[in-house]
């Protein structure tokens, strides 16, 4: 604990010295989320993280999350230094959608608009016509459908299927998945719902279709927190990464929060659903990165320019 406090103090000083600001995702450790908040940084979902970084005047953005989040920050702020506590923090959606195979898939369907989730590499983004996150995907697909467009969707098959069901758009789905959300289990969820019949069920749309079908609310991490606040229920069952419980319990301190079960594990264990890559961000490697100013995100300028077009389309899209 003493050692932790020591790291926290050192990190605070370094952030000031280096004119750096922390931008953290809800899924990183509580202590990193708290530190971001205490130092004038920000904790949010992937869409808001991108917006915050682009608008903030700091010279250096310290992105605590996974690589695609650092890359998105760099695409939007090429003049800034973007560093991350570790460059090893990947995402199964990004890894499961390599540019060559995805590009070939797109080439086979030249009549379709290419819409990709933010959880992709900068190269995949550069191949896309649109980028979306789970907080605006339905609205953007709806707008494209209204224009009569047929769509290629990548990489998350569950989110893709959910949007397809919702909008009835003509979508061809890449078959990627998030290793964390893919683990939520219908049977165990039903048992939990039977035990807490008045609970409301909040689900991230990267979860399997059968789990989404049980939800009272489906949305991005930030939208799940807002839905929790708006809910009249005393108990919330939440199907997303356990990291979200930190901000969720601040938002609704009087509610009982229960993690949705992942298979055979206990319904309340801390290891129920937690992204192994998000967990790679620690006070120790954050401190080291700030001292050494290493782990910088670099993006080829030509590819960056291409990726910026669909990214700006998303940021300028209002609904």
Which residue in the set 44, 72, 86, 92 belongs to the binding site for ligand SF4 (CB under 6 A)? Answer: 92
Which residue in the set 75, 275, 290, 299 belongs to the binding site for ligand SF4 (CB under 6 A)? Answer: 275
DSSP string, the chain: -HHHHHHHHHHHHHHHHTTEEEEEETTS-HHHHHHHHHTT-EEE-HHHHHHHHHH---SEEEEES-HHHHHHHHHH-TTSEEE-S-S----HHHHTS-HHHHHHHHHT-TTSEEEEESSS-HHHHHH-SEEE-TTTHHHHHHHHHHTT--EEEESBHHHHHHHHHHH---EEE--B--TTGGG--HHHHHHHHHHSTT-EEEE-TTS-HHHHTT-SEE--HHHHHHHHHH---SEEEEES-TTHHHHHHHH-TTSEEEEPP-TTS-TT-TTSS--TTGGG--HHHHHHHHHHT--B----HHHHHHHHHHHHHHHH---
Comparing CB distances to ligand SF4, the nearer of 27 and 102 is: 27
Q: How far is the CB of 133 from ligand SF4 (least distance, A)?
A: 11
Stretch 124-183 residues interacting with ligand 13P (CB under 6 A): 133-135, 178
Total site size for ligand SF4, rule CB under 6 A? 14
Comparing CB distances to ligand 13P, the nearer of 7 and 130 is: 130
Q: Which stretch binds ligand SF4 (CB under 6 A): 174-182, 219-227, 296-304, 310-318?
A: 174-182
Q: How far is the CB of 16 from ligand 13P (least distance, A)?
A: 28
Comparing CB distances to ligand SF4, the nearer of 7 and 242 is: 242
Stretch 9-48 residues interacting with ligand SF4 (CB under 6 A): 27
List residues binding ligand SF4 (CB under 6 A): 27, 66, 91-93, 119, 178-180, 206, 241, 275, 277-278
């Amino acid at each position: 604990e003493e050692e932790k406090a020591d790291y926290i103090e050192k990190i605070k000083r370094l952030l000031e010295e280096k004119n750096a600001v922390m931008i953290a995702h809800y899924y990183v450790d509580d202590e990193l989320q708290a530190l971001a908040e205490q130092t004038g940084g920000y904790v949010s979902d992937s869409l808001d993280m991108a917006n915050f970084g682009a608008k903030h005047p700091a010279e250096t953005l310290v992105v605590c999350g996974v690589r695609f989040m650092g890359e998105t920050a760099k695409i939007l702020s090429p003049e800034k230094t973007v560093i991350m506590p570790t460059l090893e923090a990947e995402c199964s959606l990004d890894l499961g959608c390599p540019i060559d195979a995805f590009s070939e898939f797109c080439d086979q369907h030249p009549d379709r608009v290419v819409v990709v989730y933010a959880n992709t590499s900068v190269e995949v983004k550069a191949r896309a016509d649109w980028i979306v996150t789970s907080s605006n995907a339905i609205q953007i697909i709806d707008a494209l459908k209204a224009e009569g467009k047929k769509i290629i969707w990548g990489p998350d098959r569950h989110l893709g299927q959910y949007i397809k069901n919702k909008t009835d758009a003509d979508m061809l789905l890449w078959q990627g998945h998030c290793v964390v959300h893919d683990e939520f289990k219908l049977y165990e969820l039903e048992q939990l719902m039977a035990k807490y019949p008045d609970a409301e069920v909040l689900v991230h749309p990267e979860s399997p279709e059968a789990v989404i079908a049980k939800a009272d609310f489906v949305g991005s991490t930030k939208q799940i927190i807002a839905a929790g606040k708006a809910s009249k229920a005393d108990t919330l069952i939440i199907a997303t990464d356990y990291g979200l419980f930190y901000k969720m319990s601040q938002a609704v301190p009087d509610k009982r929060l229960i993690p949705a079960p992942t298979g055979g594990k206990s319904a309340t264990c801390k290891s129920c659903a937690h992204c192994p890559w998000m967990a790679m961000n620690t006070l120790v490697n954050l401190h080291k990165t700030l001292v050494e100013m290493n782990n910088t995100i670099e993006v080829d300028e030509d590819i960056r320019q291409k990726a910026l077009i669909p990214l700006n389309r998303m940021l300028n899209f209002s609904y």
